[in-house]
Amino acid sequence: MERINKVRLISIFIFLVPFLSVNICLILGQIFTYGEVFKIGDAISEDWRPWLIPYFDGSVSISRVARVFPSNLIFKPAMFITSFLLINY
């Protein structure tokens, strides 16, 4: 019974670690501008960005968001942890 509980716990973490890391990276991708400038009418705004929801509009990919500076500090270690958990599973 102890082995079954261990497998259940590992499988929950195999789901939660990538899910949370990807969503945190997507939120960080919305907060930091990555040097993009948007033109609004006649004025150019460096502060305003449309809120992108990749689950619905597909405008941003996970690989694009996770390869830039603040996000890769979260995404890559989370994927290493997930791979370790998958090996133990």
**DSSP structure string for 42-54:** TEEESS--PPP-T
pLDDT at 35 over 50: no
Give the residue-averaged pLDDT of 5-20: 94
Radius of gyration of the chain, Cα coordinates, nearest whole angstrom: 18
Q: What is the mean pLDDT of residues 50-65?
A: 73
Q: pTM here?
A: 0.70
Burial of 79 from C-beta contacts in 10 A (0-12 / 13-18 / 19+): middle
Q: Which pLDDT score, from 0 to 100, does residue 46 have?
A: 53
H or E stretch at 45:
strand 43-45
Using a pLDDT cut of 70, give the percent of the chain over it. 74
Top-confidence residue, 5 or 60: 5
